[in-house]
């Protein structure tokens, strides 16, 4: 899928196996063709050849792939990073807050044990260029990417705004209605989405979590993203099971209250629900005063 003369989107399907159930998932990675080729995220392990096929179809070769921008450290975003570095010599860029899980996937596997972890990502990769909030990267004299810190889904998550073309690469910062809620910090997630809402000139939302959206769909997606988090918060507040007493009973109850499929009760969603439990005293997460001044 081509989003602009310079930007190509690749939808990468994969599965997360929870017991005997395979949760069908997908993630988007993006190819930006400028003076050199830049990649935004790399998909799961085994995606390198597919991304390089997109590069070839855009009239470039693997020798042109110079930079890899990672929105965050999760396995479906870094799974093919090492393979692409070995094939192309590209440099890897990410927020330093994500460094530990990118450069030591065994650490990530212990601290965030996604089912089938090593099938999705089997190699660590070194960060060459640390990214900072509001940093501007020059892809060519007429094409620039602005780095926007969007923590919440992960501690050091970032989005990338291709300013001249109005394309916002949001990674997993914006949850999708009806999908499994996956983020570590609901307050941080709400603040990050609100920040994205304040950006001017966004014409395309190039999410990793959902299909690319344009025009008024961008505004709707950002509003819905906040609503997803608020709905989860209400379900957690209403739960009668306690996570410290029986974590999976708590998880199943929240999934039922949200009317989500039973397989959504798994370690990934449990992590999300527990993060809400820690701030359950807050009535509305998107309340401006509460969101601006979180307590610890």
Residues 98-122 have pLDDT tens digits of 999 999 999 999 999 998 999 999 9
Look at residue 287 in the predicted model and tell me its pLDDT: 74
The yes-or-no verdict on residue 15 having pLDDT over 50 is yes
- Tell me the CA end-to-end span of the chain in Å, nearest whole number: 43
Confidence of residue 295 (pLDDT cuts 50, 70, 90): very low
**3-class DSSP string for 151-179:** CCCCCCCEEEEEHHHCEEEEECCCCCCCC
What's the mean pLDDT in 205-215?
96
pLDDT level of residue 18 (50, 70, 90 thresholds): confident
Question: Using alpha carbons only, what angle is made at residue 262 by residues 260 and 267, rounded to the nearest 5 degrees?
Answer: 100
Q: pLDDT value at position 296?
A: 29
Q: Which residue has the higher pLDDT, 113 or 295?
A: 113
**Residue 288: band (very low, low, confident or very high) from pLDDT cuts 50, 70, 90:** low
Averaged pLDDT, 162-167 = 97
Name the burial class of residue 132, with classes exposed (0-12), middle (13-18) and buried (19+) by CB atoms within 10 angstroms of its CB: exposed
Q: What is the mean pLDDT of residues 182-191?
A: 97
Segment 122-139 mean pLDDT: 97
Determine the pLDDT at residue 17: 84
pLDDT band at 293, cuts 50/70/90? Answer: very low
Residue % of the chain over a pLDDT of 70: 97
Q: Does residue 110 sit in helix, strand or coil?
A: helix
> Does position 291 have pLDDT exceeding 70, yes or no?
no
Collect all residues with Cβ–Cβ distance below 8 Å to 245 and sequence separation of at least 6: none
Rounded to an integer, the average pLDDT of 78-85 is 98
pTM: 0.94
Query: What are the structural domains, with CATH classification, of the chain?
Result: 7-228 (3.60.15.10)
pLDDT band at 176 (very low <50, low <70, confident <90, very high): very high
């Amino acid at each position: 899928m081509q989003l602009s003369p310079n930007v190509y989107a690749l939808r990468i399907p994969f599965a997360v196996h929870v017991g005997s159930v395979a949760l069908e998932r997908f993630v988007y990675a993006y190819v930006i063709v400028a003076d050199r080729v830049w990649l935004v995220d790399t998909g799961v392990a085994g995606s390198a050849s597919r991304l390089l096929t997109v590069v070839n179809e855009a009239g470039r070769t693997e020798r042109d792939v110079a930079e890899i921008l990672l929105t965050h450290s999760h396995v479906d975003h870094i799974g093919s990073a090492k393979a692409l570095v070995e094939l192309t010599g590209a440099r890897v860029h990410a927020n330093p807050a994500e460094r530990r899980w990118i450069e030591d996937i065994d650490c990530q596997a212990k601290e965030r044990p996604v089912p089938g972890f090593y099938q999705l990502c089997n190699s660590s990769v070194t960060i060459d260029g640390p990214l900072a909030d509001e940093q501007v990267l020059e892809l060519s004299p007429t094409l620039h990417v602005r780095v926007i810190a969007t923590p919440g889904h992960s501690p050091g998550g970032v989005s990338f705004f291709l300013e001249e073309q109005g394309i916002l690469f949001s990674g997993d910062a914006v949850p999708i209605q009806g999908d499994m809620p996956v983020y570590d910090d609901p307050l941080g997630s709400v603040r990050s989405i609100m920040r994205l809402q304040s950006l001017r000139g966004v014409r395309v939302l190039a999410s990793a979590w959902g299909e690319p959206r344009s025009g008024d769909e961008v505004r709707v997606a950002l509003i819905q993203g906040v609503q997803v988090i608020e709905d989860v918060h209400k379900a957690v507040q209403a739960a009668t099971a306690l996570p410290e007493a029986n974590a999976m009973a708590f998880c199943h109850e929240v999934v039922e209250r949200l009317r989500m499929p039973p397989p959504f009760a798994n370690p990934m969603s449990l992590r999300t629900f527990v993060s809400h439990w820690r701030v359950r005293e807050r009535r509305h997460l998107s309340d401006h005063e509460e969101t601006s001044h979180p307590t610890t």
